[in-house]
Amino acid sequence: MSDNPQHTPRARRGRAPDVFRPGGWVPMREYGEDETVDFAIVGTGAGGGTLACKLAEYGFSVVAFDAGPYFRPLEDFASDESEQTKLYWTDDRIVDGANPLQLGSNNSGKAVGGSTVHFAMVSLRFRPEWFKSRSLLGYGADWPLDWREMWNYYREVEQALKIAGPVNYPWGPPRPRYPYRAHPLNAAARVLAKGCEALGIGWTETPLATLSAPRGLAHPCVYRGFCVAGCSTNAKQSALVTWIPRALAAGAEIRDLAMVGRVEVDAAGRATGVHFHRDGTWHFQRARHVVVAGYAIETPRLLLNSTNGQFPDGLANSSGLVGENLMAQSNQAVWGLMDQEIRSYKGPPSLAITEHWNYEDKGKDFFGGYSYMSQGPLPQLWANTQMAARGLWGARLMSDMQNYNHVAGLKIVGEMLPQENNRVTLADEVDQFGLRIPRVTYSWCDNDKRLIAHALKFMTQALEEADARDIWTQEDDTCHLNGTARMGSDPARSVVNADCRSWDIPNLWICDGSVFPTVGGANPSLTIQAIACRTADRIRDLAGRGELDQPARRRYAAQTAQ
Amino acid sequence: MTEFDTDRGSLNAGLAIAGLLAGSVLLLAAGRAPANGHRNGRAAALPPRRSSRKRPTVVAARRLNRAAGVLAASVLADSSVEHYRGSFKNKAMYTPLIVSASTLATSLHGTADARPAAHWFRDATYLTAAVSGLIGTGFHIYNVGKKVGGFSWQNFFYGAPIGAPMAILLSGLLGFCSERVRESRKGTRPEIFQLPAGRTMAAVIGAGLLGTSGEAGLLHFRGAFHNPFMLLPVTLPPLGAALLGRAALAGPGQQHRATRWWMRVLAAMGFAGVGLHAYGVSRNMGGWRNWSQNILNGPPLPAPPSFAGLALAGLAALELMEDHPDA
């Protein structure tokens, strides 16, 4: 039988790949399709993988589905950018709007472990005020979560991933010490540091989910630099090598190459399980609860594709907000040439960061914030950037590529505001499974543009201060997708409540970046995982009190009546 | 690692092995030396040049030579590996190799020499070692301070290790002390700069233990103390330093049995540390199969014996205090 994980499922017959041992297996509990499991989880990334682990450890029976392959990083990952595009979700999608998103690379993932398999490992906490950005900062929407509670869940995730971070973090309220120490800075990171020091703002080593010391069978990072093309050493603490092995050990089943196409809901308005495609045919898995964790495009797509007579506009969509308020994060950059060699590909790409403009509100002509980080583009990505952003081709491109080892860059992760017109809807075209494909509509608002302009101007100054020359700006790039199923306190203005539970269908949950009401200027993975940990705790507590079957809406009504 | 040098040739391996071999030779020599001068009069491994082989000051001096040699071997191997890793970017980076190799040779000479007189060449070498340790410390401080971020955790972790050159300074000091003890006239109190030799050395060695412990603490903190054994060099040596400090302050006629035992524990810890660091090397990508890279990336194999060198020196000082209660 083929051992190509992209064609043949690996997690079956009572075993799943042991990601730490070449050719090894770990035992895996399997559930029959007629067996009603406690939780069917759609997606195994930062949200679904984390939740599967925590729920299994709390004693629930869990089956987690992923449309992607079950990779063995030690064997399947090559030092080859083209080969590693196999980690991306490249199924058909339609993009439109004034600023159509480029999909299918850094903002997507199709593998057990989701996009954490190729994420840049940047593990930031949100600024506390962002959880109440409408009330405290005057924009966006408030989260129904308290930052102090989130602070505890951040800590849990940081411990679980052995985040390597600075001894003291310069911004925000005190946080506990990162479990592992920060990595050494590469030359690209020192360029960022030099610019910040010249401009008098703070900088620090980026808290990263890659090991700076051994952990079990995982080795410390060898600074191979292929992080965003998949870590072949297991130093990267992706869901694939952290939460998923724990989930398996706790009795969860992982179904790889299993595309969920529809959530089934009965006449009583309760989810009964999921239809999934595996081994060439459709199957149905019964479940007491369904969790959708497919990220900001696939989550609304699944909900919208699961219409029935009772829910003609899609599941969990009485607010009409499923698919709306899609938020990317702006990802513009400034690049320049340094006299000395930089070789920015050495080590993790973003070793240094400044969150100055996330925490400083003065001197801004826009709402929201941004961080910026040092960069380490691999050669193929760099050639693509030169082509797409500068229109270089032929001899000019060849000539500029000669400077690759001297390039340093600064790139933002910037907050974009939620807008209902930025949305995921369904196109009429269907994919290889016969499912309607998503149409992703995206346009920047004036605030987004002002933030980008501010960032580009500031970073240009910073590069100048760091003695870079031939500076140019990359003005059109985005990363990270969030929103589309926002959480909130009011069923009319949100899709799920603080527990990530649908207001409409009591046993339907959404647990990924879709639930973000705002995105902040920080990479979202740590927050997604923290929310998943919180959701698991809430599910355990609700079950313990016998309230797991009580509709969220009834509890909301009881609260508002008090 | 400061430069992300992953393109390792085979030379590095050769140099690392050479450093370790030098250490092994010294240890073998050191293993033989005490028998020669031991007051129990066991068979001599090297022929004594004078009949003064049982004079306690000479016995103590030779033990101190041996301790200085263990430290010098540790420095030779450690600086070979680490400065090779730094590509000898600055020519001055060869200095500790030359100085520690000379100190090692001098210590072997002193360990073998049973004459009750200082040797001008040994004195000169040891003083050179001490001075180069001081200058090296200055260089390392400069290296840390000039990096962006200045004196920050990042640069203390990954810049030149501040405490490392102190090891050759300590080696030089111990050697210098050994010469002063050796040349003490019979019937007089062994002295260093007119201070009682045993107690002065106990204090110096205690300070050395604290400093070395600080260095291990910094680097083990960098490793997040991910293995509980990493706590040993930050807990046992400070206790040893306290015991030595007490011995330095105590009046004559004390036995210091616990302190002596503690020094033996520290010596064992120092040598066992090589094994633990070898295990640490194995936990890097590719393990020992990828030794040419992981010896450079993993915990430094030659570092822990510096504790053994200091502990052996501590033992020598305590024995001298026993033989010369006023020392």
DSSP structure string for A278-291: ETTEEEEEEEEEEE
Contact yes or no for B158 and A184 at CB 8 A: yes
Q: In what order do the strands lie in the sheet with A423-430?
A: A94-96, A436-441, A423-430
Contact A219 B285 (CB under 8 A): yes
pLDDT single digits (tens) A35-86: 999 999 999 999 999 999 999 999 999 999 999 999 999 999 999 999 999 9
Structural domain tally of chain B?
1
Is position B6 within any domain?
no
Q: Has residue B18 been placed in a domain?
A: yes
pLDDT digits (tens, 9 = 90+) for A109-163: 999 999 999 999 999 999 999 999 999 999 999 999 999 999 999 999 999 999 9
A213-222 per-position pLDDT tens digit? 999 999 999 9
Identity of the residue numbered A436:
R
Name the more confident of A174 and B49: A174
pLDDT bin (cut points 50, 70, 90) of residue A448 is very high
Q: Is B283 on the interface with A (CB under 8 A)?
A: yes
Which of A562, A546, A528, A555 minimizes the C-alpha distance to A44?
A528
Structural domain includes residue A25: yes
How many cross-chain Cβ pairs, A to B, lie less than 8 Å apart? 69
CB A315, CB A505: distance < 8 Å: yes
Domain-embedded: residue B33: yes
If 0-12 CB within 10 Å is exposed, 13-18 middle and 19+ buried, where does residue A402 land? Answer: exposed
* A356 part of a folded domain: yes
Q: Containing H/E element for A25?
A: strand A25-27
- The span from the CA of A459 to the CA of A450, in Å, is 14
What range defines the domain where residue A440 resides? Answer: 15-561
- pLDDT, position B188: 84
Are β-strands A62-65 and A253-255 bridged in parallel, bridged antiparallel, or unpaired? parallel
Q: Which mean pLDDT values do the consecutive 10-residue runs of chain B (327 residues) have?
A: 38 41 43 39 40 73 91 93 92 94 94 90 95 95 95 96 92 92 86 89 95 96 97 97 94 86 97 97 95 94 94 92 83
Tell if the CB–CB gap between A182 and B153 is shorter than 8 Å.
yes
Residue B144 CA to residue B161 CA, distance in Å, equals: 8
Scan for tokens 């790409």, then name that residue: A349
Contacts of residue A235 in chain B, CB cutoff 8 Å? 285
Q: Is B2 a domain residue?
A: no
Task: Name A270's Cβ contacts closer than 8 Å, sequence gap at least 6.
Answer: A505, A506, A507
In a domain, B4, yes or no: no
CA end-to-end span of chain A: 62
Burial class, A259, CB count within 10 angstroms (exposed 0-12 / middle 13-18 / buried 19+): buried
In 3-state terms, what secondary structure has residue A275? strand
pLDDT for residue B149? 95
The predicted structure's pLDDT at residue A199: 97
On whether any CB of chain A is under 8 Å from the CB of B289, the answer is: no
Q: How confident is residue A562, by pLDDT bands cut at 50, 70 and 90?
A: low
pTM of the shown model:
0.91
Nearest to B208 by CA among B248, B249, B174, B251: B174
A1 in any annotated domain:
no
Mean local confidence (pLDDT), A271-282: 97
Could you tell me which residues come within 8 angstroms of residue A83 by beta carbon, excluding any fewer than 6 positions away?
A: none
Among the partner-chain residues B147, B148, B222, the one whose CB lies closest to the CB of A181 is B222
User: Running DSSP on this structure, what letter comes out for residue A428?
Assistant: E
DSSP-derived 3-state class of residue A243:
helix
Q: Kindly report the CA angle at A249 between A246 and A252, in degrees rounded to 5? A: 90
B217's enclosing H/E stretch is: helix B197-222
CA distance A505 to A317: 10
pLDDT at B137: 95
For residue A35, which phi and psi values (nearest 5 degrees)? Answer: -80, 125
pLDDT at B16: 41
DSSP state of A336: E
Chain centroid to Cα A85, Å, comes to 17
In angstroms, the separation between the Cα of residue A236 and the nearest Cα of chain B is: 13
Please judge whether B283 and A214 are an interchain contact, meaning their C-beta atoms are less than 8 angstroms apart.
yes
Angle CA A244–A245–A247, to nearest 5? 60
Domain count, chain A: 1
**How many Å apart are CA A415 and CA A258, to the nearest integer?**
33
Contact criterion met (CB < 8 Å) for A180 and B221: no
Tokens 């907050």, residue?
Answer: A415
Helix%, strand%, coil% for chain A, nearest 5: 30, 20, 50
Chain B touched by A356 (CB under 8 Å) = no
DSSP symbol at A177:
P
A220 touches chain B (CB under 8 A): yes
CATH code, domain carrying A190: 3.50.50.60
> Residue A293, exposed/middle/buried by CB under 10 A (0-12, 13-18, 19+)?
buried
Instruction: Tell me if B285 and A347 make a contact (CB, 8 A cut-off).
Output: no
Q: Exposed (0-12), middle (13-18) or buried (19+): which is B42, by Cβ within 10 Å?
A: exposed
Closest CA to A477 of A444, A512, A450, A522: A444
Span A503-522, average pLDDT: 97
What is the crossing angle of helices B11-37 and B56-85, to 10°? 170
- To which residue do tokens 């090598």 refer? A241
Pairing assessment for the beta strands A164-165 and A180-181 based on DSSP bridges: parallel
DSSP state of A349: S
Distance CA B81, CA B98 (A): 14
Residues of A in Cβ contact (< 8 Å) with B285: 219-220, 222, 233, 235
User: Could you give the count of Cα atoms lying within 13 Å of B96 in the half-sphere of its Cβ?
Assistant: 32
Q: Which helix (H) or strand (E) holds B196?
A: strand B195-196
Name which of A197, A195, A202 is nearest A458 in CA terms.
Answer: A195
Task: Convert the pLDDT of each residue in A73-122 to its tens digit.
Answer: 999 999 999 999 999 999 999 999 999 999 988 889 999 999 999 999 99
Q: Which residue range(s) make up the domain with B168? A: 11-40+49-323
- CA–CA separation, A245 and A319 (whole Å): 37
- Out of A3-7, A233-237, B53-57, B312-316, the most confident range is A233-237
- List the single range of A164-168, A270-274, A332-336, B161-165 with lowest mean pLDDT: B161-165
Instruction: Identify whether B73 is part of a domain.
Output: yes
